[in-house]
Amino acid sequence: MLTAIETTGTIHVNHHIVLDEELPENASNRVRVIVLYDEDGKDFSESDWLKTAAKNEAFEFLSDEAEDIYTLEDGKPF
């Protein structure tokens, strides 16, 4: 089972990424990392991230009809 974690970090010398928060204890296997950065060196907003993710080929599988497994009738209302 895949688990996704969203966090931020900083790219340091030698292109090492330092995360802003600790990973869970059970996150000890190999991971897939998507790095988003602003080429101008500015910080980016949540809306910038969403726009970029929406255009990224890595998320094309979400357009597949086979991924539409939930309906409005699924789940329980709050």
> What is the structure's pLDDT at 35?
80
Which residues in the chain land under pLDDT 70? 41
> What is the structure's pLDDT at 2?
75
The structure tokens listed for 25 are 């204890």
> What is the structure's pLDDT at 7?
84
Question: Do the Cβ atoms of 36 and 47 come closer than 8 Å?
Answer: no
Q: What is the pTM of this model?
A: 0.44
The structure tokens listed for 15 are 């292109």
> What is the structure's pLDDT at 41?
66
